Structure 1
Amino acid sequence: ACARGPALASRAPLTAKDGLPRELLATLCERCAPDDNPCGQAVTHALQEAANRGNPALQEAQWSLEHAGPALGATCQELVRQAVGPAALTGATVEPPLLALLETLAPTCVKTGQLPAPLLNAAAVQQGSRAPQLATLHTQGAVETKPIEPDHPTGPGDAFRAFDRDELSGVKLPLASSGTGSGTGSDGALRLEYAPVLKYAVSFQVLATGPGSLRAHVRAPEGVGRAGPGGTGYFVDPTVCRFRGTGRWEICKPAVPLLDVDALSVLPERPGVELKELEIIGAR
């Protein structure tokens, strides 16, 4: 019976006046195992179609996810793998139909606790106005924040000068291979690690001469996002700040906080950029 689900779905559109086939499909979906659950399969197919610039029926996909029953967890994991992860990466191309499907399906996975908040917020920050609904899913209240220095800065030997509260000193940022946007994003001219992770990063204040960007590094489930060097797991790397480097303080405040940040990378856009000061406002 489970194998006949897709055929039943094609004969039972949401707009049909006869609701009996749709009721049968709902019953099937609530009973079929994840591997052959017609509702789970329908959502996976919609994700694949959207990733290939197709236009799947959003309401149909939403209905299927809401009725996926025992397949809900696996289907939300598929949403994370095919849509949330790519949407949280700097430099990744995410097709508009896939973003629209992500905005449609994410609330159900969030409501049922099947979508990791750090990953969702990373995608919301990276996509910004391309997928504004993602930011509305962050419902956590405000936390008390303060400037928090990184535990392990790596890069130029004088990296500490970016945190010495002296606006006259600074650190020259060498161009890194990942600065082109085509690298792994695992490093930058200056990498700022937190151990343990920075629970919240709410804003960034930059004083620099010359343009560049900041990327956050947030751990991701196995197979989602980019593979870390040396088998260190997977991560996503949303761009959280672009600074022009005018020699004046610039403030970047993402629409939602970044959660569980492992590290931040500072990447110059051209040679000769000097980072005078960087303040990372957050909470441990």
Structure 2
Amino acid sequence: PPAAACARGPALASRAPLTAKDSLPRELLATLCERCAPADNPCGQAVTRALQEASRRQNPALQEASWSLEHAGPALGAACQELVRQAVGPAAVTGPEVEPQLLALAEALAPTCVKTGQLPAPLLNAAAVQQGSRAPQLATLHTGRAVETRPIEPDQPTGAGDAFRAFDRDELSGVKLPMAGTGSDGALRLGYAPALKYAVSFQVRATGPGSLRAHVRAPDGVGHPGPEGTGFFVDPTVCRFQGTGRWEICKPAAPLLDVDAVSVLPERPGVELKELEIIGAR
């Protein structure tokens, strides 16, 4: 249809709320959305508008946004990319809290993007882990099969010369964790090459508090740029440990996929990492 016809979409939407008895304008809108090019697609535009509203702490109509996404036709891919860029990506990184309105919208829209293969599973699961109870629906969308897991030692530990002591099965030895610099990967970076396909739980024994973050590959432009142009990654916090000297177990809300590294960050000086087990699969 001509762009002028596509431009009438918002007017049709306002004349045909989802609850209206007269469904003719809504049917016309659905037809337009299924045929209009992505650049002019009223449903795609409605999804983008909803995401922008949510990021400004406004409350977009979730049902309307879901309907628009389901009927976005040729604009579905672009709409899901917007969801990734504006909501799921920011929800998967450790940092400032994502607006609750944006999380609610992500929970409403993600199922359609998952169903159509437009939302990368590693990113979705990273967001589910980072947000936990703030966006519990995200963890329910993981559809992967069960895999056999075991403790897997990292291939490339960096940051402390005696990092191997955290994996020597000797609870008397350990690694003194230096405080990480601003913007750094962490006091200790435990790299995997090739990446871990799955990481399902973390067992820590430490003398002092800290956290673990997973580095999960992300689409271009989402999350943080990797070192030396190695693409982008998100870094959900996968474990917070108290450091009682006893084993502490962290089981994230969803399995982490495509994990390039796990970083260990102490909360104060003098923390010693006695043992760490990363349970997963290659």
Superposed CA deviations along residues 69-109 of structure 1, whole A, max 9, x for unmatched, are 01111111110010000000101321011100000000011
Distance in 2 (CA, whole Å) between partners of 1:10 and 1:230 is 49
1:221 matched residue in structure 2:
219
2:116 matched residue in structure 1:
112
Deviation at 1:219, TM superposition (A): 1.0
Aligned: 1:63 with 2:67: yes
1:77 matched residue in structure 2:
81
Aligned: 1:88 with 2:64: no
Distance in 2 (CA, whole Å) between partners of 1:199 and 1:230 is 23
Distance in 1 (CA, whole Å) between partners of 2:227 and 2:155 is 20
2:19 matched residue in structure 1:
15
Q: Secondary structure at the match of 2:222?
A: coil
Deviation at 1:141, TM superposition (A): 2.3
Give aligned pairs, total.
278
Distance in 1 (CA, whole Å) between partners of 2:54 and 2:199 is 32
Distance in 2 (CA, whole Å) between partners of 1:273 and 1:198 is 26
Superposed CA deviations along residues 193-239 of structure 1, whole A, max 9, x for unmatched, are 00100000000010100000000001111111112233222110000
Distance in 2 (CA, whole Å) between partners of 1:169 and 1:93 is 37
What TM-score do you get using the length of structure 1 for normalisation? 0.96
Partner amino acid for 2:57?
Answer: R
Q: Secondary structure at the match of 1:247?
A: coil
1:124 matched residue in structure 2:
128
Aligned: 1:101 with 2:105: yes
Distance in 1 (CA, whole Å) between partners of 2:188 and 2:196 is 17
Out of 187, 203, 213, the residue aligned to residue 201 of structure 2 is: 203
Out of 260, 275, 278, the residue aligned to residue 276 of structure 2 is: 278
Partner amino acid for 1:265?
Answer: S
Deviation at 1:54, TM superposition (A): 0.3
Partner amino acid for 2:211?
Answer: S
1:165 matched residue in structure 2:
169
Out of 43, 46, 50, the residue aligned to residue 42 of structure 1 is: 46
2:246 matched residue in structure 1:
248
Q: Secondary structure at the match of 2:170?
A: coil
Partner amino acid for 2:209?
Answer: P
Distance in 2 (CA, whole Å) between partners of 1:187 and 1:71 is 37
1:258 matched residue in structure 2:
256
5+ long unaligned stretches in structure 2 = none
Q: Secondary structure at the match of 1:261?
A: strand
5+ long unaligned stretches in structure 1 = none
Distance in 1 (CA, whole Å) between partners of 2:209 and 2:70 is 45
Q: Secondary structure at the match of 2:85?
A: helix
What is the alpha-carbon root mean square deviation over aligned residues?
A: 0.9
